[in-house]
Structure 1
Amino acid sequence: MSDRMYPIPFENIIEWIIDEYSRLGTIFGVRKFVHIDSKDKIDLFGEHMEVPFGPAAGPHTQLTQNIIASYVAGCRFFELKTVQTLDGEDLCVNKPCINARDEGYNVEWSTELTVEQALEEYVKAWFILKLLSKEYGFGDENGFIFNMSVGYDFEGISSPKIDAFIEGLKDASSSPIWLQCKEYTLKNINRFKNIDKEFVQNISPNICTSITLSTLHGCPPEEIERIASYLLEEKHLNTFVKCNPTLLGYDYARKTLDEMGYDYLVFDDFHFKDDLQYEDAVPMIKRLLQMATKNNLTFGVKLTNTFPVKIAHDELPGEEMYMSGRSLYPLSIALAYKLAESFNGNLKISYSGGADAYNIDKIAEAGIWPITIATTLLKNGGYERCIQLADKLRNLNPDNYARISPSAIKELKENAVIDPYYRKPIKPLHNNKINKKVPLVDCFISPCKLGCPINQEIPTYINLMGKGKYKDALKVIIDRNPLPFITGTICSHPCTTKCTRNFYEEYIKIRDVKLEAAKAAYNDIMNELSSPITKSHTKVAVIGGGPAGLAAGYFLGRCGMNVTIFEKRKSLGGIVKHVIPEFRISSDSIQKDIELIKKMGIEVKLDHEQNNIEELKEKGYKYILLAVGAWNPVNLRLENGNPIDALDFLENIKNGNKEYELGKDVVVIGGGNTAMDTARAAKRVEGVNNVYLIYRRTKKYMPADEEELLLATEDGVIIKELLSPAKFKKGKLCCEEMKLGEIDNSGRRKPIKTGNIVNIHADSIISAIGQNTDTCLFQSNGIKVENNNVIVNEETCESNIENVYVVGDALRGPSTVVESIADSIKSSLSIMDKENIKDKGFGTYFNKQNMEDAYVKKGTIEKFDDIKNESKRCLECNMVCETCVDVCPNRANISITVPGKSMSQIIHIDSLCNECGNCEVFCPYDSAPYKDKFTLFNTEKDFLESKNQGFYMCNNNGSECRIRLNDEILKIDLNNDHNTLPADIKNIITTVNEKYSFLMR
């Protein structure tokens, strides 16, 4: 396997398209097509395009199939990938070279093909788009525009190699590839239904009448003007000159990005000083405009080139990378406004820089077009994101295209810096990976389900809610989660960190849907639930009536076990009931979950502390679950003063102590959810004016959920970052200022003391830096404890004492409700297994879902106000994943339908892959599909040089092949039923041979 992809010959592409379309109804994996029959086309350079957008000069315009996929999904303007004299094997690109997980980064700056190959790819693409427009009715054969892109200096652009490229695209009629395309099509005209010889003969060989000039950073203004003049006067090409965001100046760029949350981007003022300066750019552009007018040509600028930043956090290999996407938008649109103002709206602006579904229509309405896109196409949905963009543009008023509106651009500029979509969230995007390697077959998963500690059937109940089947949805939920109100309100929802929708707009509101199901169907479910008729004589004692104890009681009670919960307080619910403020979760909601659990016939003994395991055994309890909470505070070390413990404070408030004496100024120390609850509760205490929350790192590294942090801020809590408390004396909390150092073992930047002291006035201090479990209970009962941690079997939560289990906070220390439920499931299943009891729950729910409905949602940005509509956004990854297919620009990952398999299988096409690494970024597994999926090789040499598991067909009859499985190479005759090949692998190879032969070239 190498990082070089091979262009597909013209005849093979035609065969591929015809076969794939006739058999599957798709073209290069694109399932949804855009057909444009409008007579309203936009004129540019004397050419026409049906909608003024398409892929930027980048990964989506490097190969013929990339351009085809863009076209059938709605693109009509193609900025071809930049060529330069350094090409092919001489061009060294660090791999992987793309990371588009949030904002985009890349280190590839021009085509990785030779210039001659690039020319052939663009000629093939042009010719094929003409055929497709007519054959499949995608639009007018003259409804799209190709725009070539060249770099990087005058010597290279005027060289024979690049000159041949330019002239070859201006008129391809004498080129061998043009003649080959024409000859093959005419010889195989019978393969087409709507194309005749006359149509083929009349296809124009004049592929490009325009060019975009891309120069390197640091190119002098006189060099840029010299090249542009050459392109206008000698090459007679309509010309765009790419401009860099560095024209805005270092101070503007740094300030803007810092204020928008991109302060982690590392760059200095070098490029800003070394690049073209604005005061030189304006007069240069004016001269070039005059030159273009003189030559009856169009001149404009292309905004913007990508923004150079240092590789500081191992985003990609190398030292410098180029930033794009939503973080580039505020800079690009600011530069557009600056130039629009300087030229009074009379400068043509071609745009790229964070254009996507959120802004593309607004950019066009402001008179800026054509618009090219890249980063958005590198995310889930891939090329099919173009469909929504085409819909947004195809119905715009043509008057918008007449002239640039500086006032409209100004509004876009001002909105860009405050719009939450463009601002970086306080907390970075969570790791989307699950801790598993992608399997060769059956790799489809629901990342949300696997991200959930209890493996909840999330897509199933979201789908049921969308159908209005609320009771069925709640049944799915309580199968593994008997606390739907509690988890529907305060769950930490780790499932959402894995949700594929994070790469569209925002995660599915899974927690809210759960709560909606609980509210809608609670009464119906309660009327149906009942204690098992047959009860086991085996007794189980659960010590602790918090979430872990309640869940264990539910699961064991449901299967007929004789369960008693011992709770030392006067009511069940644990920390959730006694500590978490009413404004976060109501007591009524908690009680509903408690009543649901009681339906399983469990016995509850309140105000009944139980600490002796042997005593319980003597009373006939065979199994004992310790589910006590973590109530012991972590001591805050201050030189003076005794801070109030957060749990004591919150419990007092929850119990109605409204006379709490805190004073006017309160300081809460900590950064977790408990700290947020404490600060918000303190803010509600009568007499309190100011509540300060201090933390030794920044908000970004606080363990609290971002939503809890934002709620605290909305309540008026004042966040003080980078402060470490030292002593409290005479109404002043003395803190040392900190700064952030290198990343530590926790994955956060380590706080480092600066020596600077800050005093904060405080009438009282509340410590919310954490709680511990009291291990005395375990040690006194002989349960093994090491370093204050209870030692249990990780699979069952069973301790060193047989039939004694430890779950929830008792095991983990302060943990989440859903983690506590997960422990209860493990321990309950262990007990059931010992008792040879089959539980009525923990089933697999088969909800009829339509795979085509899942495909329809791919590529569409969508948000709803009504929680019940979240099913329309859920991508149903339990039915369809294909993320690696979506995000591959080259179509090197292919989805195939294999007989006997309900879900599609993924194979990797070695010859189309340049190891850009984008599929590794987005794959929900901790894997790289381009290395780890079963691979089709087109040559024996490629097969032998690779380490990928995969196959190569040795002969034309489709029976003999060489296969690598694990580290073993096999030679197999597929017609021999006695071979030792695994059935799944054999089926994939056979399917490729029989139904996807077009993949083999």
Structure 2
Amino acid sequence: MSDIMRPIGFDHLMTWVMDEYRTQKTIFGQQRIVRTDPDRAFAIFDEKIETPFGPAAGPNSQLAQNIISCYVDGARFFELKTVQIMDGEQLREAVAKPCILAPDECYNCEWSTELTVEQAQAEYIKAWIACKVIARELDLGDPDGFVFNMSVGYDYDGVCTPKIDGFLNGMMDATTTEAWQKSIAWLKDNVELFENVDEAYIDSISPRVSSSVTESTLHGCPPEEIEKIATHLIEVKGLNTYVKCNPTLLGYEFARKTLDECGFDYIAFDDHHFLEDLQWEDAVPMFERLQALASEKGLEFGVKLTNTFPVDVTRGELPSEEMYMSGRSLYLLSISLAARIAKQFNGTLRISYSGGADAQNIEKLLKSGIWPITMATTILKPGGYERLSQITGILANVPGATFEGVNVEKVEALALAARESDKYEHAIKALPDRHVPGELPLLDCFTAPCRHICPIHQDIPGYLRAVDEARYEDALNIILERNALPFMTGTLCPHTCTNPCMRNYYDQPVHIREAKLEAAQKAFEEVLPTLVANEPTGPKVAVIGGGPAGLAAASFLSRAGADVTVMERTGKLGGIVRHVIPGFRISDADIDHDVSLCLAHGAKVETGVSVESAAALKNLGYDKVVIAAGAWAPGREVLPEGSTIDAIEFLEMAKKDPESVSLGTDVVVIGGGNTAMDVARAATRIDGVKNVRLVYRRDAANMPAQEEELLDALADGVELCALLSPVALADDVLTCDVMELGEPDASGRRRPVKTGEQTTVPATAVIRAVGEQLERSLFENSGIELTDRGLPKVDSHLMTSVDGVYVVGDARRGPATIVEGIADAQVVAEAITGCAFDGKGASNIDPEYGKNLATRGDLCLSCDKCATSRCLECPTVCETCVEVCPNRANIAVRVAGERQRQIVHVDGMCNECGNCAVFCPYQGGRPYKDKLTVFWSEEDLHDSENEGFLALEDGRFKVRLDGEIRVHDIDDPACGLPEGVRRLIQAVRDDYGYLLCK
């Protein structure tokens, strides 16, 4: 049953590990298997760890395969998932599913192992023995170079019950446990499977699985209870002990202010946990007493920073009322608490750290004296466990050490730097949807989200690879196949392609637009002469308007053989980009380059021509007419009192003759879109202007403008006056209603509502940048039927109600982006000529499958200085659901004859945490539900609704497809299964047999 994890027996576990390594050179999907250096070990307790990091108590340390995955990727300190008196089915019923949400900062609504305590102990013991064996067999490091740290909670009575006490005893000496005895016996019975492990080595494996514990208590646990548990663990059980602290020790005001200042103001919580949790004045003397007690007993004592942070569910993030925050927002609090504790104890109190640690900060944490360091959020993201491999490399040259204290100054510097760093600040605007439309296919799900979401479906991975390899001519040719305007789009495109870029979950999206411009700049001179004008063989087409959409239409049509003439009413091609977009955004030279590329296939141009109707052109012998007129009409007036300047008129004049523009000292721009940002930035460059203010009735987070456009405006000195609605202009003063955000409107944004208050803004000139419109005369004169919005009614080919007359770009949509205009031009060109523009589609797939896998888990530590695009080659290797599954329940399977691997889901290893659904590129994707599933029993097959299969003893397979269960002989091509499904099941049976039996 898919929400119940089935622990793997030790025999299956080891068979899986050895068979997978022998056949795939991977272990639980981990290909970057790490060998650590025993000479750089860190002393801890009376043991040693070859690397000072590992998984935090959580989803990545709850099953044996999870722990092994961490180990082979370099982790050597394991904080095992918390056990408590509530366990198994009782706990599963209390945990809502899905329970993990980690697209940015992470949230969860689970708190301890969903196994029974006895099962959890067995998992940890099996993992302990397995790691010892793997270390020796594969020479991954000193078999004694790692440490298991227990985590128990949540109250004193629970810790003292036979269940938890037995857990502690069995972990301190596993000799009498069933898991130990069965595992050791299996190893001895199968010693011939190993080359470097013999019976003497098996006998040498220590049964002392753990000698340390982290005390984890519930929020609201009184200080005397916390101390009583810790005292018991130290004095009675003789365990090296950490006490896990909550960020609430910082106080409500500090936490609220810190998160608000860093843009996490949407994270909701009140002060009740801060009032109920351990207080600073109680914590300090308690830690002093426990530190002295541990020293007296010859044990180590420290604090674990920090527990996750409880916040409210306000937007349906998870199916619970409260959830626990971690990740980069928690780092702000955890490192601040570390600094406070370090200062209070003058660096003498040991700090075990967890709370937003990752590849970008771990070295600084370590060098400040904070270790061991455990992580959860970073390895729940794409790249998964292999992110630990990168961390191993980062710390490879850090010498081993014993704890000699925490450097107070360094930790304080880290806390200050975090509050000032862009990395720990949330975006001004809400994160865009990072999924592409559609449901996850059962097979062949690999896709390039960037290409999918791009309006022109640009072959992005293909040209990124070419740019990375300095093949600029190839890159530009790939771009030109579907994009006629690489300079304009390389400069001005809103690059929505970066929204679903999987790289968002690592560091920052791939710089797709910049790579396009680089290719255009470096290959233009070489590529332009190769674009040959062919003799027209197709229809005679008139394109009205020489802006981006018209140029793109001319390019595609002439390339496809049409006889094209562009008719432009001004003296130069380029439309609004040429005449209105400020020169600091794009140069005339770059516009000229795009014009040259678009005309290279033979399109003719007539400038200074005004077209009154499409019929007039048809009377001149044109077979088809494409209307590509821009949105030049003035926007609507927004002030009941006082006059304003139209944005397009201002920008046109500011570009043509800026010396003639007089705005006074204080300019107000009304609007919140990208045009408003251009207007505001252009106004700052007009002589005499001292202040430019953007007045917008919503807040910055709800502006339609792209965040980068807003940030550029703010960097130019523009002041944002949010939540103001202009009312009247008189005597150089703009009066505005003060607004507040109410309930969401039809667009999903919160509706601005008047508060009843008014304020004033100095305004020697007011420019309105709202509601740019189309001139309707051409449509009306041509007899084209319009919608209620004044836009032409069109069919799927963008043909209007007049036969043979098409519309593209602004003429079709109203104010449109350049890339939307190109997309329309493609549709019309295909409709008129029958020619498709997908000759470079295959370039998206890397012919050298998997060459980028070696760095797939790596965060870029300095994206602006990175030598390559950082593209993950998603259409070649997606497999994100494999990487992010803590339990290794999603498996990538190679099927003979297919370039990309297929995904199968292992039902028995899944607890439906939902993490794979968070990162699946498809909007409706739930890999744990939607992928072909391997079942281990009849019971699980029938308890699930997943499409999937069960191996039968007679060699056949019971398969559920389309809701029906049937038995199939998969070696018979006529067995009735779809060929792709049949071949996938064959591949699992023949090459991944360890997936089939429990």
The bucket for the TM-score relative to the shorter chain is over 0.9
1:170-219 CA distance string (max 9 Å, x none): 00001111000000000000000100100001100001100000000000
Match among 188, 191, 194 for residue 189 of structure 1: 191
Instruction: Report the counterpart of residue 108 of structure 2 in structure 1.
Output: 106
Task: Pick which of 86-95 and 946-955 moved more.
Answer: 946-955
SS of the equivalent of 1:341 reads helix
Percent identity at matched positions? 49
Query: Which whole-Å CA distance do the structure 2 matches of 1:848 and 1:232 have between them?
Result: 56
Cα distance, 1:838 vs. partner? 6.9
Match of 2:892 in 1: 895
Cα distance in structure 2, aligned partners of 1:84 and 1:841: 60
Q: Which moved more, 1:384-393 or 1:968-977?
A: 968-977
Tell me which amino acid in the other structure corresponds to 2:468: G
Segment drifting more, 237-246 vs 648-657? 648-657
| Pairing of 1:588-627 with structure 2 (within 5 A) | 588-627=589-628
Q: Which residue of 2 aligns with 1:985?
A: 981
SS for the counterpart of 1:417 is helix
- Answering whether residue 974 of structure 2 is matched by residue 972 of structure 1, we say no
Which of 161, 164, 174 aligns to 2:163? It is 161
Change (3 A) 1:161 1:295: same
Cα gap change, 1:144 to 1:963, in 2 (>3 Å): same
Change (3 A) 1:593 1:863: farther
How far did residue 560 of structure 1 move?
Answer: 1.6
The alignment partner of 2:115 has SS state of coil
Give the aligned partner of residue 586 of structure 1. 587
Return the match for 1:380 from 371, 379, 382: 382
State the one-letter code of the partner of 1:144. Answer: F
1:527 and 1:336 map into 2 onto residues whose CA distance is 63
**C-alpha distance in structure 2 between counterparts of 1:679 and 1:743, whole Å:** 27
Partner of 2:921: 924
Q: Deviations over 1:694-745 (max 9, x none)?
A: 1111111111111111111111111111111111111111111111223333
Over 3 Å counting, the alpha-carbon distance change for 1:865 and 1:941 in structure 2 is closer
Q: Is the 8 A contact 1:559 1:839 kept in 2?
A: no
> Which segment is superposed worse, 110-119 or 599-608?
599-608
Instruction: Summarize the Cα distance change of 1:845–1:90 in structure 2 as closer, same or farther, 3 Å threshold.
Output: closer
The match for 1:204 is 206
1:948–1:508 distance in 2 versus 1, CA, 3 Å: same
Q: Distance in 2 between matches of 1:954 and 1:606?
A: 75
Deviation larger for 614-623 or 129-138: 614-623
- Secondary structure class of the residue paired with 1:772: coil
Displacement of 1:611 in angstroms is 2.6
Amino acid at match of 2:944: S
- Residues 885-937 of structure 1: CA deviation (Å, up to 9, x unaligned): 01000001100000121101001111111111111110001111111111111
Q: How does 1:482-631 map to 2 (within 5 A)?
A: 482-532=484-534, 534-536=535-537, 538-631=539-632
Task: Determine if contact 1:333/1:412 at 8 Å carries over to the other structure.
Answer: yes
Aligned length in residues: 994
Structure 2 SS opposite 1:554: helix
How many Å apart are 1:539 and its aligned residue?
A: 0.5
Any conservation in 2 of the 1:668–1:679 contact (CA below 8 Å)?
yes
Aligned residue number for residue 334 of structure 2: 332
The match for 1:876 is: 873
CA distance in 1, matches of 2:375, 2:440: 30
1:834-881 per-position Cα deviation (integer Å, ceiling 9, x unaligned): xxx57795664477642232211211011566788334x111112110
- Counterpart amino acid of residue 903 in structure 1: Q
**Counterparts of 1:852 and 1:80, CA distance in 2:** 33
Residues 730-879 of structure 1 aligned to structure 2 (within 5 Å) = 730-793=731-794, 795-833=796-834, 844-845=842-843, 849-862=847-860, 869-871=867-869, 873-879=870-876
Which amino acid letter does the alignment assign opposite residue 405 of structure 1? N
1:522-544 CA-to-partner distances (Å, cap 9, x unmatched) read 01111211201x31252001111
**Equivalent pair of 1:365/1:400 in contact (CA under 8 Å):** no
Give the distance between the partners of 1:240 and 1:418, measured in 2 at CA: 30
Query: Match for residue 175 of structure 1?
Result: 177
Distance 2:175 2:4 in 1: 29
Partner letter of residue 406 of structure 1? V
- Residue 636 of structure 1: how far off its partner (Å): 3.3
Q: Return the match for 1:322 from 321, 324, 343.
A: 324
CA distance in 1, matches of 2:397, 2:897: 44
Return the letter of the residue paired with 2:451. Answer: K
Letter in 1 for 2:56: A
Counterpart for residue 933 of structure 1: 931
SS at match of 1:737: strand
| Match of residue 412 from structure 2 | 410
For residue 851 of structure 1, give the secondary structure of its aligned residue in structure 2.
coil
Q: What amino acid sits opposite 2:963 in the alignment?
A: D
How far apart, CA to CA, are the structure 2 residues paired with 1:384 and 1:73?
6
Secondary structure of 1:590's match? helix
- Return the alpha-carbon distance in structure 2 between the equivalents of residues 610 and 149 of structure 1: 78
Amino acid at match of 2:962: N
Please report how far the alpha carbon of residue 428 of structure 1 lies from its aligned counterpart in structure 2 after TM superposition. 2.8
Instruction: Name the SS for the 2:395 alignment partner.
Output: helix
Q: Distance in 2 between matches of 1:566 and 1:667?
A: 36
Whole-angstrom CA distance in 2 between matches of 1:868 and 1:149: 40
Cα distance in structure 1, aligned partners of 2:371 and 2:845: 46
- Tell me the residue number matched to 1:301: 303
Q: Which stretches of structure 1, 4 residues or longer, exceed 3 Å deviation after superposition?
A: 397-401, 789-795, 837-849, 863-868
The amino acid across from 1:428 in the alignment is A
How far does residue 440 in structure 1 lie from its aligned partner after superposition? 1.0
Cα distance per residue 1:303-327 (max 9 Å; x no partner): 0000000000111111000000000
Please list, as runs of the form range in 1=range in 2, the aligned pairs for 1:24-423 lying within 5 A after superposition.
24-91=24-91, 92-398=94-400, 401-423=403-425
Greater mean deviation of Cα atoms: 939-948 or 488-497: 939-948
Aligned to 1:853, the other structure's residue is in SS state coil
Q: Secondary structure at the match of 1:308?
A: strand
Aligned partner letter, 2:760: N
How far the C-alpha of 1:961 sits from its partner, in A, is 1.6
Unpaired stretches in structure 1, ≥5 consecutive residues: none
Query: Does the Cα contact within 8 Å between 2:846 and 2:876 map onto a contact in 1?
Result: no
CA distance in 1, matches of 2:433, 2:426: 16
CA distance in 1, matches of 2:482, 2:862: 28
Q: Distance in 2 between matches of 1:499 and 1:347?
A: 42
Match of 2:908 in 1: 911
Residues 745-776 of structure 1: per-residue CA shift (max 9 Å, x gap): 32322222111111011101000113122334
Counterparts of 1:863 and 1:39, CA distance in 2:
27
Compared CA separation, residues 390 and 401, structure 1 to 2 (3 A): farther
TM-score normalised according to structure 1 size: 0.98
Classify the secondary structure of the residue corresponding to 2:257.
Answer: helix
C-alpha distance in structure 2 between counterparts of 1:42 and 1:863, whole Å:
25
Task: Tell me the alpha carbon deviations over residues 617-675 of structure 1, each in whole angstroms, 9 at most, x when there is no partner.
Answer: 12111111111111223313322111100100000011123121100000001111111
Q: Report what 1:3 is aligned to.
A: 3
SS of the equivalent of 2:852 reads: helix
Question: Whole-Å Cα distance in 1 between the matches of residues 220 and 795 of structure 2?
Answer: 58
Is the CA contact (8 Å cut-off) linking 1:326 and 1:353 kept in structure 2?
Answer: yes
- Return the letter of the residue paired with 1:904: R
Contact between 2:538 and 2:833, CA under 8 Å: does it hold in 1? no
Cα separation, 1, equivalents of 2:337 and 2:841: 57
Q: CA RMSD in A?
A: 1.5
Decide which of 945, 948, 955 is 1:947's aligned counterpart.
Answer: 945
Question: Is the contact made by 1:577 and 1:587 (CA closer than 8 Å) also made in structure 2?
Answer: yes
1:967: Cα distance to partner?
A: 2.4
Whole-Å Cα distance in 2 between the matches of residues 857 and 842 of structure 1? 26
Alpha carbons 2:850, 2:877 under 8 Å: kept: no
